[in-house]
Amino acid sequence: MCGIVGYIGKREKREFLLDGLKELEYRGYDSAGIAVLHQNEINYFKASGKLDNLVEKTKDFRSIGFGLGIAHTRWATHGKPTEINAHPHWGEFSFVIHNGIIENYMDIKKDLQSEGVVFLSQTDSEVIVHLFEKFVNLGFEPETAFEKTIASLKGAYAILLISKVASQKIFFAKNAVPLIIGKNEEDELFFGSSDAPLIGFASEVIYLEDGTYGWANEKEINLYKDSKQIELSFKLLNSSKIYAQKDGYRFFMEKEIYEQSAVTSETLMGRIKDEKVYLEEVENLDFSKIDEIKICACGTSYHAALTSSYLFERISKIRCSVEIASEFRYKKPLLTQKTLFLVISQSGETADTLEALKMAKRAGLKTLSICNVDNSSIVRISDATILTRAGIEKGVASTKAFATQVLSLWLLALHVGSEKIDENEYASEIKAMRSIPEVLRVDEKIHEKIHRLSKRYLHGHGFFFIGRDIFFPLALEGALKLKEISYLHAEGYPAGEMKHGPIALADSKLFTIALMPQTMLYEKTKSNVEELSARDATILAISPKEFELADDFIKTAPHEHPMSEFFEMMVITQLLALEISIRLGNDVDMPRNLAKSVTVE
Ligand code: AGP
């Protein structure tokens, strides 16, 4: 998730813009830049890496007196995290910064290139400034040119644009990613992708709605939607910075659970076209020469890998094996050239996963990574990478990274299997996939119910999470989430394994979280849960179907597709772990003994 800061007024702009970007560092970034328009001259600076590099570059720059400033921290989604790909991007007389993904950028870019426009970066964002200048050069007023530019864009965007043809105003637009405008009594205007950079400067703010756009100068803000001017509704700004960084949630993990709906929209952005999966990152990978996919990962990423193994075999009709990286490293594995070696890692720095990848490279295998951090070690040495676009994940217990990993792997399975399954089945996969961001929208009533029932699960001698098929790796993941942040013992198990030993543990103090989807082996799972209930185990059933033997029951929606049930049950297990941990008074975001990235063996 990129960060945006903007300013209109007389204050020294470099300091305000850089301090604003520092307040957004928590969102994660890999490059940054600023641009200032003062007395019809635009100064701009960009730097890859940490903000300190930009601070150094701008150390001799100051901008006093009325002017406009825009600033940006970039989290790479299209194009490597290099200086040239950093924002702002410019044309001949305008500069733009953008957060989000322009889904139709390739079509716009090709049209502009055919008209002689030269692009400097690999980004989708750069099309915005060239499109704006195209309309200005066709004779449209800047405001109309901006309106036409925004109308041409599909996808998610928070945009600030400044131009010499309108040197008193900032143009802005917002759709699907946050953009806030703030004001104070000194005729200053502020822009931000969250409250944090505005705290201490603005007294009132507008949280722009999707589909709105407009322009602002020091005297007025003109806000539009569908070409109609709309009212400005200001509200008082909360003054707590940490509160702002957590967007009002109690923990980053809670915020990241709620973000899953938005970030999975970004994961899908530009990757489904004309109802077909389109993954430009693997366009050059010839899967006809691959007879096995071997996946290597750790922890939660391993659970995503296990989940995808069902999809690769069922949809892509390709053999798939999954290995825990720390085991794989030392087992002297048999590797063949026709194996695609896939590694999954949120951080891209996990030592075991990185070493496993190097082993595959040394053996001459094609390698592909599913990763959340561009330019990380794993990304740098993989032959290709599919970025999950989850944005920075601050909670040590992974949530949105897992959701975007599974979604990215499902995309890949459909990409590989597009000719292997019939059209109707493919269409139902795409239909279900498009619904996932909505499925991940947290139901406050469900959250409240989980909060209430969590008080019953604070003791006992352990938890079983059980499920079948893709719900088995989800059971493993649910158990890991609970272990990590509550410090209570929990195990994930294939539901069919109970009678092979684990059921000996069954008694009233054994809590069983039963994942009982209606679209996948419901009757089989139900009979496994009945075996546990008959031995007095305490059952929390998660299912769209009423289950009368449940001691606690969380009703889910009657989805038609197993993956929809998977993602809805995933949120429930995440919230259950969160609420139990909060009741136990634990540090949810920084659990004892754990680190966010395990860069050592
Ligand atoms: C997940 O909640 C844990 N924090 C941990 O298992 C993590 O998934 C594992 O260390 C792998 O990390 P990676 O995805 O960054 O490689």
Domain at 151, CATH number:
3.60.20.10
How far is Cα 216 from Cα 178, in angstroms, rounded to an integer?
A: 17
Q: Of 414, 437, 460, which residue sits at a domain end?
A: 437
- If you measure from the C-alpha of residue 398 to the centroid of ligand 1, how many angstroms do you get, rounded to a whole number? 7
pLDDT digits (tens, 9 = 90+) for 404-421: 999 999 999 999 999 999
- If you measure from the C-alpha of residue 396 to the centroid of ligand 1, how many angstroms do you get, rounded to a whole number? 8
Is residue 2 annotated as a catalytic residue, yes or no?
A: yes
Domain identity same for 204 and 85: yes
Domain identity same for 433 and 481: no
CB-based burial, 280-310: b 16+ in 10 Å, e otherwise:
ebbeebebeebeebbbbbbbbbbbbbbbbbb
Nearest-CA residue for ligand 1 atom 9 is 299
Q: Which domain holds residue 493?
A: 442-601
The structure tokens listed for 313 are: 């075999």
- Among 2, 298, 320, 371, the active-site one is 2
Please report the atom of ligand 1 found closest to the CA of residue 378.
16
DSSP letters, 176-225, are: BS--EEEE-TTS-EEEESSSGGGTTT-SEEEEPPTTEEEEE-SS-EEEEE
- If you measure from the C-alpha of residue 255 to the centroid of ligand 1, how many angstroms do you get, rounded to a whole number? 18
pLDDT at 460 > cutoff 90:
no
Q: Above pLDDT 70, what percent of the chain?
A: 99
Q: Of 193, 217, 242, which residue sits at a domain end?
A: 242
Domain identity same for 230 and 144: yes
Cβ contact 68:163 at 8 Å: no
pLDDT at 281 > cutoff 80:
yes
Q: Whole-model pTM?
A: 0.81
Domain identity same for 224 and 276: no
Regarding the beta carbon of 556 and ligand 1, being less than 6 Å apart is answered no
pLDDT digits (tens, 9 = 90+) for 125-150: 999 999 999 999 999 999 999 999 99
Tell me how many degrees the CA angle 600-474-599 measures, rounded to the nearest 5: 10
> Total structural domains in the chain?
3
Nearest-CA residue for ligand 1 atom 6 is 299
Regarding the beta carbon of 377 and ligand 1, being less than 6 Å apart is answered no
Domain identity same for 183 and 300: no
- If you measure from the C-alpha of residue 299 to the centroid of ligand 1, how many angstroms do you get, rounded to a whole number? 5
pLDDT of residue 242: 64
Task: Report in angstroms the alpha-carbon separations of 478 from 71, 255, 467, 570, 576.
Answer: 39, 18, 11, 7, 9
How far is Cα 57 from Cα 178, in angstroms, rounded to an integer?
A: 28
Domain identity same for 20 and 125: yes
Regarding the beta carbon of 343 and ligand 1, being less than 6 Å apart is answered no
Regarding the beta carbon of 123 and ligand 1, being less than 6 Å apart is answered no
pLDDT at 27 > cutoff 90:
no
Q: Of 208, 242, 276, which residue sits at a domain end?
A: 242
pLDDT at 194 > cutoff 70:
yes
- If you measure from the C-alpha of residue 192 to the centroid of ligand 1, how many angstroms do you get, rounded to a whole number? 31
pLDDT bracket for residue 241 (50, 70, 90): low
- If you measure from the C-alpha of residue 369 to the centroid of ligand 1, how many angstroms do you get, rounded to a whole number? 15
Q: Pairing mode, if any, of strands 180-183 and 189-192?
A: antiparallel
Tell me how many degrees the CA angle 12-14-16 measures, rounded to the nearest 5: 70
CATH number of the domain that 387 lies in? 3.40.50.10490
> What's the rounded mean pLDDT across residues 15-40?
90
pLDDT bracket for residue 247 (50, 70, 90): confident
pLDDT at 105 > cutoff 70:
yes
Domain identity same for 299 and 428: yes
Regarding the beta carbon of 388 and ligand 1, being less than 6 Å apart is answered no
Regarding the beta carbon of 398 and ligand 1, being less than 6 Å apart is answered yes
How far is Cα 320 from Cα 311, in angstroms, rounded to an integer?
A: 9
- Among 154, 164, 225, 596, the active-site one is 596
pLDDT at 159 > cutoff 90:
yes
Domain identity same for 131 and 268: no
pLDDT bracket for residue 422 (50, 70, 90): very high
pLDDT bracket for residue 364 (50, 70, 90): very high
Domain identity same for 334 and 198: no
How far is Cα 386 from Cα 304, in angstroms, rounded to an integer?
A: 14
Cβ contact 369:348 at 8 Å: yes
Cβ contact 293:339 at 8 Å: yes
Mutate to test the pocket of ligand 1, among 256, 298, 483 (most ligand atoms within 8 A of CB): 298
Domain identity same for 222 and 262: no
Domain identity same for 56 and 199: yes
Domain identity same for 419 and 451: no
pLDDT of residue 29: 80
Regarding the beta carbon of 396 and ligand 1, being less than 6 Å apart is answered yes
